[in-house]
Amino acid sequence: MPHLKRLKNTCIIGTTLLSLLTFTMNTHAADVPVGTKLSAKQVLNVGIGAEVPSLDPQKAEDNVSGRVLFDLFEGLLSEGEKGEIMPAIASKWETSKDGLVYTFYIRPNAKFSDGSTITAEDVVFSYRRLADPKTASTYAEIISMIKNATLISQGKAKPEQMGIVALNPSTVQITLEKPTPYFLKLAAFQNLSIVKKANVEKYGDQFTQPGNVVNSGAFKLKYWKIGDKIIAERNPHYWNSSKTVIETVNYFPISDANTELQMFQTGQLDFTYDIPSDKFKDLKKVYGKQLHTNPYLSIYYISLNTKVEPFKNNPKLAQALSMALDRKILSEKVTGRGEIPSYDIVPFGVADYKQQSYAWDKLSPAERLAEAQKLYKEAGYSKEKPLTLNYTYNTNILHKKVAIALASMWEQNLGVKVSLSNKEWKVFLTDRTEGNYVAARDGWIADYNDTSSFLDMFQSKHPQNHPKYTNVKYDNLIKMASLETNKEKRSKLFQEASFLLMNDYPVIPMFTYVTTHLVKQHVGGYSGLNPLDHSYSRNFYIIDSEITASR
């Protein structure tokens, strides 16, 4: 059937061209609705929650740094409002059939904030710099799929041996060790933002200082004083600068949510990082649509140490404990900001994944409780011989509230005697990592929107595997999924792995987090639809206050 094959080829070429056209036509810019009157003063005041530890893209490791870095630097690719991958410094790209070789074409007008052209050499330098042991990046392993990157970060190969080359001044080719379906998402991640080689080589660790730094993003750094604020101004050399509306962004590192709220109330802030957790309902009444709550690609869960009693070889006990928790009450009455009850370690909203649940989730509360009590007895415990359990959490009002609630549920439903241990952050981390706990508060926020971001960490030898979970079948499923290029097959493998993990009960997932921001009505361009809560100031605009008042 040669004509069918020709038709299929035509369709593929057509779809590719269409998608390429769509990519190149999409703009990263404020999409100002027709008829909107813009304010003459385009200044955005943003609360960022805490101090930015680093503005070095290759060293930054937190979402606070990310909020500023996404404005100041850009990668080969970037994200749209909903987190979709979009062209950025690279205007287009090609992927080899085996999914191992990516070729990126840098747009001719891609320039740094000093007006110099962004070259393939800068891209190669930025990627190599991330893996280089001299940089000592905590995120060096995020590019472990690139050829030789792991060996480089281990000091066993030179950065020049990385699978990335500049084919010519505007073309970069990246070779992977294994097909990685989410690689394009990584190309938009903050750690893979492009820095200017000559600038970094000139100033070293001080290259991010105002006056030294050369930016590749929509904004350039003007002022940075630790604890005071960061000021960024529109970068006139940015390739899409003509579509950027905001002229100045002031980022305020306000760690106290109450202070941040007061600054919002007094008009010092247009956009808050968070809200005081205990004031959600009142603020919702007062601010209505200005209070945005959206699901966040993150999960709150309990880790159960599978290497110590009582959870060693005792999944029935863990299941009883999981069944005895009413996640709905927990998210409605205890956290109360719209958190989504979860049974799967992969949270709600992860791309190409259907969140799993248990069959017992469908049982009525009474049936579920009866089943939990039965399992509790089968695990060797009863009212006469109750389980005594220590639950550890770090100092935080939310964690404390959750700890008290779940201790109460376990005690009431099963008769478990729960003792709570509140520990200072670093002490808690050390104990949890080293396995010096029985049950502990845990949680994870995705770095990138992919199932692997959550499931990889429960592989036997993964450093993030706090419950010390070991299951060869699980490891194999994750390994198979990591090599699978077919999206549907990959998704099924992940779902199978997750279901296996869920039924082995090394963890008890509780709920998917939400983000909460107060955003002034005069700020346009924020939809809250980015599941990773990435905000790009280039998408925002300030509406004239008179128009706002009349809305």
The residues binding another protein (CB under 8 A) are 51, 53-56, 59, 61, 133-134, 136-138, 140-141, 150, 153-155, 205-206, 208-209, 223, 225-229, 252-256, 258-259, 262-263, 265-266, 268, 424-427, 429-431, 433, 443-445, 463-464
Helix residue ranges per DSSP H, 310-352: 315-323, 327-329
Tell me which long-range contacts 104-107 makes (C-beta under 8 A, separation of at least 24). Answer: 104/76, 104/171, 104/172, 104/173, 104/174, 104/187, 105/170, 105/171, 106/76, 106/169, 106/170, 106/171, 106/172, 107/239
Residue number, 120 or 214, with CB nearest to another protein: 214
Looking only at the bridges linking them, the beta strands covering 171-175 and 388-394 are unpaired
Please state the closest distance from residue 140 (CB atom) to another protein, in A: 6
What gap in Å lies between CA 503 and CA 87, rounded to an integer?
41
Please state the closest distance from residue 132 (CB atom) to another protein, in A: 9
Nearest to 250 by CA among 241, 263, 236: 263
Residue number, 148 or 208, with CB nearest to another protein: 208
What gap in Å lies between CA 69 and CA 53, rounded to an integer?
11
Place of tokens 């320039």: 111
What gap in Å lies between CA 494 and CA 489, rounded to an integer?
9
Looking only at the bridges linking them, the beta strands covering 439-445 and 388-394 are parallel
CB atoms within 10 A of CB 53: 13
Please state the closest distance from residue 254 (CB atom) to another protein, in A: 5
Please state the closest distance from residue 196 (CB atom) to another protein, in A: 16
Place of tokens 């905001």: 246
Q: Cα 269 to chain center, whole Å?
A: 24
Please state the closest distance from residue 62 (CB atom) to another protein, in A: 8
Residue number, 180 or 319, with CB nearest to another protein: 180
Q: What is the DSSP string of 281-320?
A: HHHHHHHGGGEEEEEEEEEEEEEE-TTSTTTTT-HHHHHH
Residue number, 30 or 249, with CB nearest to another protein: 249
Q: Cα 248 to chain center, whole Å?
A: 26
What gap in Å lies between CA 146 and CA 190, rounded to an integer?
17
Please state the closest distance from residue 63 (CB atom) to another protein, in A: 11
Instruction: Write b or e for each residue in 256-281: b if 16 or more Cβ atoms lie within 10 A of its Cβ, otherwise e.
Output: ebeebbebbeeeebbbbbbbbeeebe
Please state the closest distance from residue 514 (CB atom) to another protein, in A: 18
CA dihedral (312, 315, 317, 322) in degrees, to 10, reads: 120
Report CA-CA distances (Å) from 91 to 170, 175, 464, 507. Answer: 10, 19, 36, 43
Nearest to 469 by CA among 482, 457, 478: 457
Q: How many CA atoms lie within 13 A of 202 on its CB side?
A: 12
Please state the closest distance from residue 455 (CB atom) to another protein, in A: 16
Burial class of residue 144, CB neighbours in 10 A (0-12, 13-18, 19+): middle
Residue number, 266 or 550, with CB nearest to another protein: 266
Please state the closest distance from residue 281 (CB atom) to another protein, in A: 19
Residue number, 323 or 519, with CB nearest to another protein: 519
Residue number, 432 or 538, with CB nearest to another protein: 432
Residue number, 116 or 255, with CB nearest to another protein: 255
Residue number, 174 or 230, with CB nearest to another protein: 230
Please state the closest distance from residue 209 (CB atom) to another protein, in A: 7
Nearest to 105 by CA among 183, 23, 162: 23
Residue number, 229 or 522, with CB nearest to another protein: 229
Please state the closest distance from residue 447 (CB atom) to another protein, in A: 9
Record the tokens describing residue 48, joined without a space.
């960022």
Please state the closest distance from residue 426 (CB atom) to another protein, in A: 3
Residue number, 138 or 460, with CB nearest to another protein: 138
Residue number, 10 or 464, with CB nearest to another protein: 464
